[in-house]
Structure 1
Amino acid sequence: MNNIIATTAQLLTTDAVITLYEIDAKNYGQGVLRFHANSNEVLNFNGYNYTPFPIKSEGFEYNGKGSLPTPTLTVPAQDLAFMSVLIGSNNLEGCDVRRIRTFEKHLDSGSDPDPSATFPVDHFYIDRRSAQTSVSITFELASKLDQQGKQIPNRQCIKNTCTHSYRYWNAETQEFSYENVTCPYAGDEYFDREGNKIIDPAEDTCSKDLVDGCRKRFGNNPLPFRGFPGLQRY
């Protein structure tokens, strides 16, 4: 959990929690669909617009008994635009789903906008359309680990190299792009591949190293390093 979120969550009074949904339908030519059900207004977070949509979710919580959660998403069946997407994309089967939660003040229009301030992001994929009535459609989600024939661990363990995907500079917009980026760094200090501080944001490149990459960007805060510095040979 982001340290800002962790600190805020422990306060006696906190801001409203905003839940955002992303469905990655790029494999079907539909792009990334972004929704929320918090209000009737378009919300903006991390530079993206999230359309108001009466989407409901259940079952994201882990039960602590070892079994993976199998959440569901329920959407209205009368929405013609969404129905046309379903028809043209095999009911969105196999599409990645991300549930992002943050405090209202961290939205782009909030009092303290911060795209890195989120609760742990829930990452699933649409397994199947499990129910449909004249009113609603329900999708069953599955964890990325819950795939037949997969073995754990499936991730390659590398000692000194971070496997996060880092932001990149968009020359057309003259801004950083965070599309499909996993590294939470969104600061305004820039470094080259050797960890030297630079001025030009277009040259900002992460060394993927714990000290020259991660530590210089996050300082004494908890590091999101995706390597395994304690890994030893046996």
Structure 2
Amino acid sequence: MISQKMLIEFSKIEQDTIIELYEVDLTDIIGEKTIFRFHNGLNELRQSIVWQGHVYDPYPIKVSGFQKNGQGTSNRPSMVVSNAFGLITGLSRNYDDLLGAIVTRHQVLAQFLDSVNFEEGNNKADSTQEILSRYIIERMTTLNSETASFELALPCESDGTLLPARVIIAHTCCWKYRSAECGYTCGAVADELDNLTNDITKDKCSHSINGCRLRFGKNSILPFGGFPSSAKLS
């Protein structure tokens, strides 16, 4: 919904710069409030942009493919972000390629930004003047040392449509070791190569079925987070 104030500004021959701010909300995936806020640039002070009191850090991000279509299937925007220092690699490894994360785009006219963005303040600052678009990360399309690409979808098209709600990997457990999904809470067992150890600092799961058996027993029901049977499909 666009406010009357925004419509008036858009109707002018000379329009102010539109600032696009992005939030990536991992709260539902991680289980605690975790929101990354990005903007592909800086404010007048050469600092992070502040909108509605939140800081949007300068970080290479590009989202394209937004369309408004009332007929047929909706568009699938593409989000490309920097993988500097392996940030996205680490997050995708621990949290199922970030599937289900909520991406929010804030479109704001520069004249309405918070006063702290300007050297002499801003008497036109208005935190209510924005256009919001929300999407869900549907899948990761590419990941390398430089960038990561994701396909986005409307929330109404993603709810309950991804079965299972994570990537199918045959022989690798996706659970974080000693997490609630993993369920292991006892002493040290083995390192990441399944070499037995009593040193808790070296205790790391190999994320394999063998690593799971070492901790829960050969004849126990294993909380293995992979899909072994998927490798048997032709």
Decide which of 21, 34, 55 is 1:31's aligned counterpart. Answer: 34
Superposed, 1:116-195 pairs within 5 Å as 116-119=128-131, 121-147=132-158
The code of the aligned residue for 1:141 comes to: L
Residue 126 of structure 2: aligned partner: 114
Q: 1: CA distance between counterparts of 2:50 and 2:89?
A: 24
* 1:138-185 superposed Cα distances (whole Å, 9 cap, x missing partner): 0111111213767xxxxxxxxxxxxxxxxxxxxxxxxxxxxxxxxxxx
Could you say if the C-alpha distance between residues 124 and 17 of structure 1 is closer, same or farther in structure 2, counting changes exceeding 3 Å? Answer: same
Gaps of 5+ in 1: 151-234
| Equivalent residue for 1:87, pick from 81, 93, 111 | 93
Instruction: Map 1:63-74 onto structure 2 (within 5 A).
Output: 63-74=69-80
Give me the CA root mean square deviation.
2.1
Residues 1:21 and 1:146: Cα distance change in structure 2 (over 3 Å): same
**In the alignment, residue 125 of structure 1 is paired with which amino acid?**
I
Equivalent pair of 2:89/2:143 in contact (CA under 8 Å): no
Task: Kindly tell me the number of residue pairs found equivalent between the two proteins.
Answer: 149
Task: Return the offset for 1:64.
Answer: 4.7
Report the TM-score when normalising by structure 2: 0.58
Secondary structure of 1:146's counterpart equals helix
1:57 aligns with 2:63: yes
Q: State the Cα distance separating 1:90 from its structure 2 match.
A: 2.2
Q: Could you say which structure has the larger radius of gyration?
A: 2
Provide closer, same or farther for how the CA distance between residues 122 and 148 of structure 1 changes in structure 2, counting only shifts above 3 A. closer
- Is contact 2:136–2:158 with CA below 8 Å preserved after alignment? no
The offset of 1:86, in angstroms, is 3.1
Aligned to 2:111: 105
| CA shift for structure 1 position 38 | 3.1
Judged with a 3 Å threshold, the aligned counterparts in structure 2 of structure 1 residues 48 and 79 are, in CA distance, closer, same or farther, namely: same
Q: Aligned partners of 1:79, 1:141: CA distance in 2, in Å?
A: 24
- Shift in Å, 1:80: 3.3
- CA change 1:149–1:88 in 2 (3 A) is closer
Q: TM-score, normalised by structure 1?
A: 0.58
Q: Which residue type is aligned with residue 109 of structure 2?
A: F
Seen in structure 2, the aligned counterparts of structure 1 residues 133 and 52 have a Cα distance that, compared at 3 Å, is same
How far apart, CA to CA, are the structure 2 residues paired with 1:81 and 1:149? Answer: 28
Instruction: List runs of 5+ in structure 2 lacking aligned partners.
Output: 162-234
The equivalences for 1:198-213 within 5 A come to: none
The equivalent of 1:8 in structure 2 is: 9
